Amino acid sequence: MAYFFDEPSHTFDEYLLIPGYTSADCIPANVSLRTPLVRFNKKAGEKSALYMNIPMVSAVMQSVSNDKMAIALAKEGGISFIYGSQTIADQAAMIAHVKMYKAGFVSSDTNIRPDQTLQELCDKIEQTGHSTVAVTENGEHNGKLMGIITERDFRMSHCNPEDPVSKYMTPLKDLVVGHSDITLDEANDLIWERKINQLPIVDKNGNLQYLVFRKDYASHEEHPLELLDGQKRYIVGAGINTRDYMERVPLLLKAGADVLCLDSSEGFTEWQR
């Protein structure tokens, strides 16, 4: 049944911002769009527990908000709510992938054992799209670092696909590495001083922690509004529903979700009382 509103309606064209005095300090660089995201009591002097650097979030939709969108939007200062219309495990994996990115410090998602073959290496590179591969003792992202191999270290047309990765990798003894207490500025200085493209970061036991890339230095300079948590990781949200939230929420929080959004077609339903 149609309902007719008696109140007058307006369009944007009916409103005008009245110009005022413009001082020398009124420049784009001094404009802050910092926006609170979660509820707080301003009258009581509270501050929001979470702010965005730009007032922009992405829709909780499968065609919009995945891990790639979350990373891209966090770089600009906004936040993405990864869609919940997927399995809990898949949504948690997307959250975890976003939280792997630490400003300037990247947790390696393309890793291999030294005894694996070049063909297996090429398969991993094709799967992830990353041409720099960490060689660790157990093939895990936090395993003992054995070396680094990139696409420039071999020519598949001139190599035996069954050759072990260890034959072509740059071994640990020839690598420049940083330790886990290094700062991002120190890591970037080391990259430029030693003229290298990536710097592996290891802990005191030689286990791989992160990779710092030369190319990310420019990216960091280009994105001063990056939205980061206390550990310099990108902030990401997640959408939840009113059905399996009891099982979904704990796993999303464990994966690192910073904020949750109740994804519903409307707010007046039996399940949202």
Place of tokens 């809990």: 88
Segments of the chain assigned to CATH 3.20.20.70: 33-103+226-266
Q: For position 246, what pLDDT does the model report?
A: 94
Q: In whole angstroms, what is the distance from residue 258 CA to residue 238 CA?
A: 8
Q: What is the pLDDT of residues 205-226, one digit of tens each?
A: 999 999 998 877 766 678 889 9
- What Å distances lie between residue 14 and 5, 9, 10, 211, 267, CA to CA? 19, 10, 7, 53, 31
| CATH class entry, domain 108-213 | alpha beta
CA-based nearest residue to 208, from 105, 96, 95: 105
**Overall fold of domain 33-103+226-266:** TIM Barrel (3.20.20)
DSSP 8-state secondary structure symbol assigned to residue 158: G
Question: pTM here?
Answer: 0.66
Segments of the chain assigned to CATH 3.10.580.10: 108-213
Q: In whole angstroms, what is the distance from residue 273 CA to residue 212 CA?
A: 48
Q: What is the pLDDT of residues 226-242, one digit of tens each?
A: 999 987 789 999 999 98
- What Å distances lie between residue 50 and 79, 98, 151, CA to CA? 11, 17, 41
In sequence order, which residues have a C-beta less than 8 Å from that of residue 18 and are 6 or more positions away?
none
High-pLDDT (> 90) share of the chain, %: 61
Beta bridge partners, 106, equal 101, 211
